């Protein structure tokens, strides 16, 4: 049996970042159900960092993560333009107001400026809203860096170790996995789409962390998408697309289809919807669909992350519900959660963020 102070269930970006931020201040074991960490959600990300993504209560975590991500070279220039047809102008106005309130840089584009930035944009798109601070994220590099930091600090990592039972024994937990047993004082639920199942095994207070399918297709177009084109996002939440290597683009219909946690795959209908929406924005021709995939995004009922000790199961800590913003908020979220988990003061980088808004006990009031 492996003995540890803290057992973190899930070695995706959530579990890996938290283990890295705990460092050598506790003996940690990182438990992963799959043969490789980050297989389901982390490895299928659209890989961008946007301060406006996730809304005003997620933005502080995104902004606080910038210094870490930039300082270690995981961010690369991209920029973003939020667009909407005639019916979507009110949503652009709301977004602009939120960005102003949060101090997120933005600028309005008139039709001429929008045409220059997005050649071939169709005539019912009269304006756009820029987000120049938007960046691409090296997701694989970031995830690998967190795992390496955790290993150097002494974290043990076990894979092919799906959790099958969690039982309280005195002041600790016995965790049965397909890779052996672990005993730890604290269990951290960083299981992403499987967070509900882990919570139920431990008898924790139920929180409905719902997984949703999100689809991405890789296309080649005529004209080819320029490598320096910004991320294009629909203010109505109907699509986004961004450049990839070799003139390709990644396109998503911004779908959120509720599903049970599993190894999710793209549905042909969702890919077709994405292409149809794309062709209503620009007059480019889709030459070839090269591949398509899907990932899981998991949200709590209020769409905010869940960080903190459970109100029912002692020594059970939630680090879940990070939706589509888990990667871009990873450094700050892990710093904040590590401090709450270990009972320490918040690090300077997240000192202005109130952890109370993310506690799981908000659902038990």
pLDDT per position as a tens digit, 286-299: 999 999 999 999 99
CATH 3.50.50.60 domain locations along the chain: 2-43+139-207+302-363
Share the mean pLDDT of the chain: 95
CA–CA separation, 48 and 43 (whole Å): 13
Q: Is the pLDDT of residue 40 over 80?
A: no
Reported as a pLDDT band with limits 50, 70 and 90, residue 327 is: very high
CA–CA separation, 254 and 239 (whole Å): 5
CA 170 to chain centre: 35
Q: State residue 68's pLDDT score.
A: 97
**In the structure encoding, which two tokens stand for residue 10, read together?**
């899930």
Q: What mean pLDDT comes out for the span 222-238?
A: 94
CATH of domain 80-132+210-299: 3.30.9.10
Q: What mean pLDDT comes out for the span 48-77?
A: 96
| Closest-CA residue to 109 (of 84, 86, 127) | 127
Dihedrals phi, psi of 140, to nearest 5 degrees: -60, -40
Q: What percentage of residues in the chain have a pLDDT greater than 90?
A: 92
What pTM value is reported for the model?
0.95
Looking at residue 35, what DSSP letter applies?
S
Q: State residue 43's pLDDT score.
A: 67
Q: State residue 6's pLDDT score.
A: 98
CATH 3.30.9.10 domain locations along the chain: 80-132+210-299
Q: Is the pLDDT of residue 123 over 70?
A: yes
Q: State residue 239's pLDDT score.
A: 95
Reported as a pLDDT band with limits 50, 70 and 90, residue 47 is: confident
Q: For 83-93, how does the pLDDT look when each residue is reduced to its tens digit (9 = 90+)?
A: 998 878 899 99
Q: State residue 46's pLDDT score.
A: 77
Reported as a pLDDT band with limits 50, 70 and 90, residue 23 is: very high
Question: What is the architecture, at CATH level 2, of domain 2-43+139-207+302-363?
Answer: 3-Layer(bba) Sandwich (3.50)
């Amino acid at each position: 049996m492996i003995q540890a102070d803290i057992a973190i269930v899930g070695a995706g970006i959530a579990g890996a970042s938290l283990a890295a931020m705990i460092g050598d201040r506790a003996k940690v074991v990182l438990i992963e159900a799959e043969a490789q960490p980050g297989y389901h959600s982390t490895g299928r990300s659209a890989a961008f960092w946007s301060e406006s993504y996730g809304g005003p209560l997620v933005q502080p975590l995104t902004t606080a993560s910038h210094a870490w991500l930039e300082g270690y070279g995981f961010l690369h220039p991209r920029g973003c333009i939020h667009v909407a047809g005639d019916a979507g102008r009110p949503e652009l106005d709301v977004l602009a107001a939120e960005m102003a309130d949060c101090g997120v840089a933005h600028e309005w584009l008139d039709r001429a400026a929008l045409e220059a930035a997005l050649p071939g944009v169709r005539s019912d798109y009269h304006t756009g809203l820029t987000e120049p601070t938007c960046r691409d994220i090296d997701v694989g590099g970031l995830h690998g860096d967190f795992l390496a930091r955790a290993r150097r600090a002494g974290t043990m990592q076990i894979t092919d170790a799906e959790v099958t039972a969690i039982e309280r024994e005195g002041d600790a937990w016995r965790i049965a996995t397909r890779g052996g047993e672990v005993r730890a004082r604290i269990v951290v639920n960083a299981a992403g789409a499987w967070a509900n199942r882990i919570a139920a095994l431990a008898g924790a207070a139920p929180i409905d962390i719902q997984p949703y399918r999100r689809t991405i297709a890789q296309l080649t177009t005529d004209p080819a998408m320029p490598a320096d084109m910004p991320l294009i996002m629909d203010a109505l939440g109907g699509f986004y697309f961004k450049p990839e290597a070799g003139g390709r683009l990644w396109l998503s219909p911004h779908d959120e289809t509720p599903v049970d946690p599993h190894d999710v795959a793209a549905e042909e209908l969702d890919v077709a919807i994405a292409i149809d929406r794309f062709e209503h924005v620009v007059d480019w021709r889709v030459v070839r669909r090269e591949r398509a995939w899907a990932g899981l995004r998991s949200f709590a009922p209020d769409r905010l992350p869940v960080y903190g000790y459970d109100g029912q199961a002692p020594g059970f800590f939630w680090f879940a519900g990070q939706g589509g913003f888990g990667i871009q908020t990873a450094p700050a979220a892990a710093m904040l959660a590590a401090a709450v988990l270990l009972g320490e003061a918040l690090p300077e980088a997240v000192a202005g963020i109130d952890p109370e808004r993310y506690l799981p006990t908000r659902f038990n009031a």
